[in-house]
Amino acid sequence: MNKRTLGRTGFEIAPLVFGGNVFGWTADERTSFALLDRFVDAGFDAIDTADAYSAFAPGNKGGESETIIGKWLKQSPERREKVVIITKVGSAFGRHQKGLSAQRIATAVEESLQRLQTDRIDVYLSHFPDPGTPIEETLGAYDKLLKAGKVRAIGGSNYTAAQLLEALSASAQKALPRYEVLQPEYNLYDRGSYEGELRDLCVRENLGVITYFSLASGFLSGKYRSTQDIHGKARAQLLGRYLDDRGFRILEALDAVAKSQTAKPAEVALAWLMHQQGVTAPIASATSLEQLESLIRSAQLKLSAEEKDQLDRASAP
């Protein structure tokens, strides 16, 4: 499988990242272990999580996802050398307030390392920008972790072009480490926040880009084509906005390309992301081996120029 360079981090990863937000939530420990085993056996190597996952699930406190990944790594220590562990800091959960102060980062990294049962985090991301903390303080905290070998590369998630540029400028002007990875929301429906100024900046500065909500909360799987297909208030809030004329045009185009590729709509939607300028790899989750096999197939699809154009036109904002 062809690997892709993750910006200037020094890591080369396969073109799909496993989203660990499901671990300890919709995938229990046993299922999570089976999913991770199959993911790595298929030639993939990057796993994304966060210290706050999955505090949003009833009965959870946060840290469940990292804990499961740590137990999985502990089962076979040789696995640690085969995978790139990406986690995040800055979300509010449990006793932790939202933010990226030096004290918060220093405390959070130790807790993450303990849960992950490892001596290092490969890529450590600021989960959200923190306007209440000077970016120099945040980058200074990361500098200490990088020099101590506890973190190997840093990046940001949910940053606008202006916020990312501020961080990159501070790094250059203050001789501080710089963000090497961006994790933006990006998919066939949600294109506006990444395409344009933010994408241009990432390409110009050679940042690695791993996208989240790559399947638009499941909408791009094609399972949800009317309000009757959506069960549960929380899911309805996530998916309702996609059920418009543009959303239906996207599904129609996905169906057409999927038919020509003998694939599923979700596989085509992920393949489209893998073909986009500046994107290193999309993040996608699975809660069953059947779902995971579909994700694996997405990395094998080769879209023609005509198929990419068809999807581009149908999803044009």
Q: Which of 224, 221, 254 lies closest to 239 in space, CA to CA?
A: 224
pLDDT, average across residues 260-272: 98
* 159-185 pLDDT per residue, tens: 999 999 999 999 999 999 999 999 999
Which region, left, alpha or beta, applies to residue 145 given φ > 0 means left and ψ of -120 to 50 means alpha? alpha
The CATH code for residues 4-183 is 3.20.20.100
Task: With cut-offs at 50, 70 and 90, classify the pLDDT of residue 313.
Answer: very high
pLDDT, average across residues 205-228: 95
**What is the pTM assigned to this prediction?**
0.97
Query: What distance in Å separates the CA atoms of residue 275 and residue 52, rounded to the nearest whole number?
Result: 30
pLDDT, average across residues 70-87: 96
pLDDT value at 232 more than 90: no
pLDDT value at 238 more than 90: no
Task: Say if strands 17-19 and 121-126 run parallel, antiparallel, or are unpaired.
Answer: unpaired
Tell me what the pLDDT averaged over the chain comes to. Answer: 96
Tell me what pLDDT residue 164 has.
98
pLDDT, average across residues 116-137: 98
Tell me what pLDDT residue 84 has.
98
Two structure tokens written together for 101: 């102060």
Query: What distance in Å separates the CA atoms of residue 263 and residue 265, rounded to the nearest whole number?
Result: 7
Task: With cut-offs at 50, 70 and 90, classify the pLDDT of residue 287.
Answer: very high
Tell me what pLDDT residue 281 has.
98
DSSP string, 90-116: ---BTTBPS---HHHHHHHHHHHHHHH
pLDDT value at 233 more than 80: no
